[in-house]
Amino acid sequence: MDDDDFGVLARVIEARREEHGFLLTAWVFLPDHWHAILGARYPKTISLVMEAVKVSSTRQMNTRRKERDRLWQGRFFDRALRTVKEYHETVEYIHWNPVRRGLVKSRSERPWSSYANYAGPEGESLRRQQILRTDRVGLPADEKARI
């Protein structure tokens, strides 16, 4: 995937979010996969949301590329975040992923990420450039609290 594909994916996620009303609190796009923290609102499910994103993004990317390839795996891997600590660890994992993969030297260098939304005042200029908005959620201060 390239920057044009990432733009398609971001627009699709935003359109499906409008349609299905799910939360997106952290995300990163990488050349061969992406990570996100999504919260589906009842009666919607994560499976429904992921299918909608995958089908729509595949159609749009294949149209742009003039191809007919299958872009995504048939299934996806989900994991329930049960505590505030797990949530914060997962956000960190998502934002460090491009650095660990050698795509950038610093998390702030990856434009296809929600890192700017977690970077405090130094992320202000990056936030203005974001193509995909991130939902903010209030979490308890206690890291052991269940969510």
**Structural fold of domain 3-128:** Alpha-Beta Plaits (3.30.70)
Tell me if 147 sits within 8 A of 37, measured CB to CB.
no
Cβ atoms within 10 Å, residue 77: 7
Report d(CA 130, CA 128) in Å as an integer: 6
Q: Is the pLDDT of residue 58 over 70?
A: yes
Distance in Å from the first CA to the final CA of the chain = 34
In this prediction, residue 42 carries a pLDDT of: 92
CA–CA dist 34, 28 (Å, integer): 6
- Report the pLDDT value the prediction gives residue 123, as an integer from 0 to 100: 59
For residues 38-47, give the mean pLDDT. 94
Q: What is the pLDDT of residue 22?
A: 96
- pTM for the model: 0.86
Cβ burial of 36 (10 Å; 0-12, 13-18, 19+) is buried
What is the DSSP code (8-state) at residue 144?
Answer: T
Q: How large a percentage of the chain has pLDDT more than 70?
A: 93
**Domain extents for the chain?**
3-128
> 69-123, pLDDT tens digit by residue?
777 877 788 899 999 999 999 999 999 999 999 999 999 889 899 998 888 766 5
- Report CA-CA distances (Å) from 23 to 32, 36, 145: 23, 10, 20
Task: Report CA 78 to chain centroid distance, whole Å.
Answer: 13
**pLDDT tops 70 at residue 125:** no
